[in-house]
């Protein structure tokens, strides 16, 4: 999949006809994947290209930073998942005030038709666009007739009697309901981040961990989890800790307790500082807690490792 940032440099002479989907696609859950696979299927059937137009961040980050909607997937992670759906092009639009002030008609005519070459458009039923989010299904139908492109407005995907939505998945992840969140996502709940140098406390306990600076804004609750940690194309069984390290963290810090993410890879001991790592959460082992001593914590970690192996052996990746 070719990724193109912005549309300003696109030239009409190089435009190829495309089937296009437009949306934030945060989380790229099963409902999003349904849309994207429909796009890829129509494009292949028509012997043309498929494309996604998405945004560098959720529009709420521009309009109300204090109440911005946190991302389930950072941009890099989102793009990598979109690529698995058979899409040929991904256009990433920077959602700034200039873009937000664009009229609905100009977005369709000036961007999708003239710069991307759209001949068929797929959106979800709650899709809104243009200045003041004034464009919706009704206006899309008018513009479809006016500019002669095919329009497909797809209803929400439901599993059981529940709508699959990014909003619901965010709530599930924060509550630690991994099984249902994973079912809606169509994959394990995961985070992507960079391996950074920590304080070495895990190594002192006999369990050297990879400290992760997550790109994600939505994390599972504090605790210890059986996970798969993926780095440089390889997946490793692991135990991942999310929490404030109450056994070691000094009480009464002026800036409050520091929440961190650490992963102990069960059968791996190499230096991977600076590399990117995805952590897939399989099952929670226990809650975070304060231990009376470092030795008591080490005993608990030993049991956590045993539990994680048992869980992960039953859930091969």
Q: Taking the model in full, what pTM does it have? A: 0.88
> Tens digits of per-residue pLDDT, 171-197?
999 999 999 999 999 999 999 999 987
Measured between alpha carbons, how far is 226 from 304 in angstroms, rounded to an integer? Answer: 8
* Best CATH choice for the domain 2-159 from the list 1.10.10.10, 3.40.50.360, 3.40.50.620, 3.10.450.50: 3.40.50.620
> What is the domain partition of the chain in residue ranges?
2-159, 189-313
pLDDT by residue for the chain (317 residues), tens only, comes to 999 998 766 666 567 899 999 999 999 999 999 999 999 999 999 999 999 999 887 666 656 666 678 889 999 999 999 999 999 999 998 877 777 788 889 999 999 999 999 999 999 998 887 776 777 889 999 999 999 999 999 999 999 889 999 999 999 999 999 999 999 999 999 999 999 877 766 666 767 788 899 887 899 999 999 999 998 888 999 999 999 888 876 554 445 567 889 999 998 777 777 789 999 999 999 999 888 888 888 898 999 999 999 999 998 77
CATH number of 189-313: 2.40.30.30
- Cβ(79)–Cβ(92) below 8 Å: yes
């Amino acid at each position: 999949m070719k990724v193109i940032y912005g549309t300003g440099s696109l030239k009409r002479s190089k435009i190829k006809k495309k089937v296009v989907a437009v949306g934030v696609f945060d989380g790229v859950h099963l409902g999003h994947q349904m849309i994207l696979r429909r796009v890829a299927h129509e494009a292949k059937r028509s012997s043309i290209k498929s494309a996604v137009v998405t945004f560098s961040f959720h529009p709420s980050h521009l309009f109300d930073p204090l109440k911005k909607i946190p991302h389930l997937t950072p941009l890099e992670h989102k793009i990598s998942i979109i690529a698995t759906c058979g899409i040929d092009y991904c256009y990433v639009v920077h959602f700034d005030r200039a873009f937000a002030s664009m009229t609905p008609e100009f977005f369709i005519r000036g961007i999708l038709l003239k710069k991307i070459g759209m001949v068929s458009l797929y959106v979800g039923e709650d899709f809104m666009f243009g200045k003041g989010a004034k464009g919706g299904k009704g206006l899309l139908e008018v513009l479809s007739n006016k500019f002669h492109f095919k329009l497909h407005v797809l209803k929400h995907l439901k599993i059981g009697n529940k709508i699959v939505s990014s909003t619901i998945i965010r709530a599930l992840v924060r509550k630690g309901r991994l099984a249902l969140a994973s079912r809606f996502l169509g994959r394990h709940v995961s985070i992507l981040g960079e391996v950074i140098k920590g304080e070495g406390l895990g190594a002192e306990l006999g369990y050297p961990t990879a400290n992760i600076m997550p790109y994600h804004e939505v994390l599972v609750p504090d605790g210890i989890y059986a996970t798969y940690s993926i780095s440089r194309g390889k997946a490793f069984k692991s135990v991942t800790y999310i929490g404030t390290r109450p056994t070691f963290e000094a009480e009464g810090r002026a800036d409050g307790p520091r929440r961190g993410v650490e992963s102990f890879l069960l059968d791996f001991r190499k230096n991977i500082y600076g590399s990117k790592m995805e952590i897939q959460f399989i099952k929670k082992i226990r809650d975070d807690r304060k231990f009376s001593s470092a030795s008591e914590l080490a005993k608990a970690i030993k049991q956590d490792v045993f539990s994680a192996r048992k869980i992960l052996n039953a859930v091969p990746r």
